[in-house]
A and B are shown apart, each in its own frame.
Chain A
Amino acid sequence: MFEICSPKPATPGLVVALSAVTLIRSSVDARDCESGFAEVFDRYAPAILRYAQRRLGSRDAAQDVVSDTFTCAWRHWDRRPDPAALLPWLYAIAGNSVRDQRRSAERRRRLTGRLSALRPAGGAADPAECVVLGCSISDALARLPEADREVLRLIAWEGQTDARMLGLVLGLRPASARSRVLRARRRLRALLDEADNPAPGAAGQVSAGRRHATEA
């Protein structure tokens, strides 16, 4: 499980210890570090940018996530995992940054929370998403808990199909990651079936459910 660059700062003692270790090492291998980091940046930064865009929907916010993620990776370069786990490591750091961005957006929305009610009513899904996703998939994703949504996105869009790597991104053991995948797929399928065979009054519930899930 990766725990660096979480929203909460490390304890001061740990920071001092890590700084001392890093300063000693950095005088020895600074040049190797820089070339290794640059290679990893060039290979993976586009993937992290797309990862953030998929979750935040804004190019500016996604660029902030790339900056935050690789700044954190650079600062903790001595603690990077094996090459095979580098991308999941970066996704895990980017996940923290995405959550930070969402928090900031939620704060802004909360301050003028009443205004969110002024959005036009009735549409179950964001029209822009409907164009790309198809409304039923978009609605189904919106109605899933965030943990389920995230594992589905990681598989379908980030290509993380190995349970161990998924576990590294999500902070789960491989077995837990595997069960989360099965659960998320089962729930997604159930919602899609429900959309194909709607119960009376279901449209209103979809709309309210979406609003609820995204505002919290």
Chain B
Amino acid sequence: MFSRARFSSAVTDIQSLLAAADPATADLDDATRAWLRHTRQAITAQQRTPGRDRTWDGVHRRARRSRRRVLVAAGALVVAVTVAGALVATPSAGRAPASSGHAKIELTAAQFLDRAAAVLLRQRPPAPPGPDQFVYTETETSDGQLSQTWLSADGKQAGLSGGSPVPTCAQLQKQQAPPPATPVGYCTAAMTAGYLPDLPARPGALRRYLTSIRVISPGPPPASSPNWAANDTGKAVDYLMATTYLLPAQQAALFQLLARTPGFTIVPAVHDAIGRPGVAIRWTYENGTAEIILDPGTYAYLGDRTTYQGESPAQYNGDALIKIAIVDHAGQQP
């Protein structure tokens, strides 16, 4: 058959193009062989019980956390609390109570975002962090892993993320010293800051500012990437909402930036990575679909979700923002 011949010819062509380019080595070293033997024994020593994830030393190194439901309750609280001198805020802090279910929404994404911005602009701003303080964020992933991050408010001190240091610009530039073939990247403290006091309120100026601190790519847009502007802007807003301390007017400006960027749609009834109901601002990109999820009652940022091309929507990958707080030191629990 012609199609079978065409398939065989394509297979041969692919093999000839890529055969010499295999990045994996064919041979295993002795240490890897020993590790494989140990792994096989460790696996077969386990009782076969389908459908349950278990972890044990030496085979699974990534333990899963199970504090999830407790934190869902914590995340649903909608109060600003002062604990031991540190301001602790949930994603919905200082606003109206989070809704308990899905709202009936018949707005476009831009209309919803403009309405959210208008509500936020009426709010009284809380005290921002001082330059020497740290912004603490706690997130939980859709598979139950917790992550804590501390970013220096002004970006001039090293932070911590998932147990690893977040270097300052100065430290990075030292690390990226010679060879001369790899020029040092452009760097400002705002790139690693947990709070951005200079974030402009007007969408045009805001986009230029975010480009200057490389939250938005300087471009040019690749011809092969559909919906590039929405993807780049959506990711930028998601980064900022997930990792920085934003005053209500700053969040409003980010919403207005999204509203003025084509390519976003609204999904009125979704759940975030830990099951909280929300409204999704959705966009597509070449590898899948991404969403920023907002509380339908307070417009607080709840988290994000991504579904990769070819996967079922049920297999989404998502992060839920559980807590934002201001603390005095990296590593300090709020």
CB within 8 Å of B: which residues of A?
4, 6-10, 14-15, 18-19, 22-23, 26, 33-34, 37-38, 41-42, 45-46, 49-51, 53-54, 57, 59, 63-64, 66-68, 70-71, 74-79, 99-100, 103-104, 106-108, 110-115, 117-122, 129, 132-134, 137-138, 143, 145-147, 152-153, 155-157, 161, 163, 170-171, 178, 181-182, 184-185, 188-189, 192, 201, 204-206, 208-209, 211-213, 215-216
Contacts and interface: CB of A to CB of B under 8 A. Distances in A.
Interface stretch (B81-89, B119-127, B283-291): B283-291
Contact of B39 (A34, A66, A137): A66
Given A22-B49, A112-B161, A137 B18 contact: yes
Given A213-B286, A215-B235, A216-B290, 7 more contacts: A22-B48, A79-B50, A155-B15, A157-B24, A208-B221, A212-B285, A213-B225
B17 A212 contact: no
Interface in B1-37: 3, 6-7, 10-11, 13-15, 17-19, 21-26, 28, 32, 35-36
6 contacts: A23-B49, A42-B40, A121-B183, A143-B224, A157-B24, A185-B14
A111 B185 contact: no
B306 interface: yes
Interface residues of B, number: 93
A63 B35 CA distance: 9
B51 A156 contact: no
B191 A114 contact: yes
A155 B139 CA distance: 39
A79 B51 CA distance: 12
Contacts of A108: 161-162, 164
A208 to B, nearest CB: 5
A153 B15 CA distance: 9
A71 B43 CA distance: 6
A7 B183 contact: no
Contact of B224 (A57, A120, A209): A209
Interface stretch (B210-218, B253-261, B323-331): B210-218
B61 interface: yes
B39 A67 contact: yes
Contact of B185 (A119, A132, A156, A206): A119
A208 B217 contact: yes
B23 to A, nearest CB: 5
Contact of A181 (B10, B192, B228, B285): B10
B47 A156 contact: no
Nearest to A171: B310
A161 B17 CA distance: 15
B303 to A, nearest CB: 11
A54 B24 contact: yes
Contacts of B225: 208-209, 212-213
Contact of B310 (A54, A147, A184, A215): A147
Contact of B184 (A76, A99, A120, A216): A120
Nearest to B315: A7
Q: Which of B61, B172, B287 has the largest number of chain A CB atoms within 10 A?
A: B287
Contacts of A67: 39, 43, 59-60
B242 A110 contact: yes
Interface stretch (B65-73, B107-115, B141-149): B141-149
B185 A114 contact: no
Given A110-B239, A133-B23, A156-B17, A216 B62 contact: no
Given A64-B61, A120-B183, A156-B15, A26 B306 contact: no
Task: Please indicate which of the listed interface residues B51, B161, B223, B232 has the most CB atoms of chain A within 10 Å of its own CB.
Answer: B51
B317 to A, nearest CB: 4
A108 B163 CA distance: 11
B187 A118 contact: yes
Contacts of A34: 44
B3 A156 contact: no
Given A9-B51, A181-B11, A208-B219, A156 B44 contact: no
